[in-house]
Amino acid sequence: MKHLRVGWSVLVAWAVPVLVVIAFIEQWIALPDRWNPWAPLWPQEPPTLLTSYKLARLSGDPRACTAALAASKLSFATVPDRPLANGCGWSNAVRVTALPERVGPPFVVSCPAAVSLAMWERHVLQPAAEATLGERVVAVDHFGSYACRDIAGATRRDEGGDHRSEHATANALDVAGFVLADGRTVSVARDWHRPADDPRRRFLQAVHDGACAFWNVVLGPDYNPAHHDHFHFDPGRYRACR
């Protein structure tokens, strides 16, 4: 009898999760889209534990990626693919002209990276600016996205040496600073190393740390000298928040 009870316990332990999954698939249980792993990603919705999973799916679904981007406030236009040559080029990319904040020169970036950018702007950048500096950001300064080059500051021994950067496929963006509504500027190069209680330092730290929820790789001045004056964001294959 004891073995029978154990057998039923194991059966129930396996059956309940299976039934829950079936209930979701068959839509017997209704979930809000942001908590439904099969529902489209909507950048305006607050992030959840499923956000990283939904962002990752966009790289294999250009149509869904474009739909998600169109639902954001980011201003963009699709651009023709540039076939890879010597490890450089892009596919499923867009030209970004505003976040809606000003961005200086428009830049070409992959659609998945653009969706991450839109979510970071809405859910991290503006809340951090208002909380620490009391103003909204009206412009974002950047060092560009696409560049046919290798990983900056890497060595063959520790980081792959001559491996192509995510910039080589327009899958990354380097952010250098911000302009606030009252005219103040915040610069990664100038303000990152201010005292820990300085509002500009706290803002930059919040912007950097919060980006890790939407990008696989977030690198700043503490990573290496090559990033002393900007944040590097990319949704590539590796994960690092440094």
Whether residue 176 lies inside any domain: the answer is: yes
Angstrom distance (rounded) from CA 83 to CA 9? 56
Whether residue 47 lies inside any domain: the answer is: no
CA distances from residue 55 to 76, 110, 209 in whole angstroms, order as listed: 18, 12, 18
Residue 227 in contact with residue 221, Cβ under 8 Å? yes
Which candidate, 25, 21, 169, 181, places its Cα nearest to that of 102? Answer: 181
Predicted pLDDT at 167:
96
For the chain, the domain total comes to 1
Predicted pLDDT at 6:
47
Whether residue 17 lies inside any domain: the answer is: no
Angstrom distance (rounded) from CA 232 to CA 220? 7
Whether residue 44 lies inside any domain: the answer is: no
Amino acid type, 3 = H
| Residue spans of alpha helices (H) in the chain | 2-25, 51-58, 62-70, 111-120, 126-133, 156-159, 188-191, 199-211
Whether residue 25 lies inside any domain: the answer is: no
Whether residue 72 lies inside any domain: the answer is: yes
- Residues of the chain where predicted confidence (pLDDT) is lower than 50: 4, 6, 12, 20, 155-161
Q: 107 phi and psi, to 5 degrees?
A: -140, 150
Whether residue 24 lies inside any domain: the answer is: no
Whether residue 35 lies inside any domain: the answer is: no
Show the domain range for 196.
54-241
- How many helices (H) and strands (E) the chain has is answered by 8, 11
Would you state the structure tokens that stand for residue 118, as one six-digit string? 């839109």
| Tens of pLDDT, residues 62-103 | 999 999 999 999 999 999 999 999 999 999 999 999 999 999
Predicted pLDDT at 157:
37
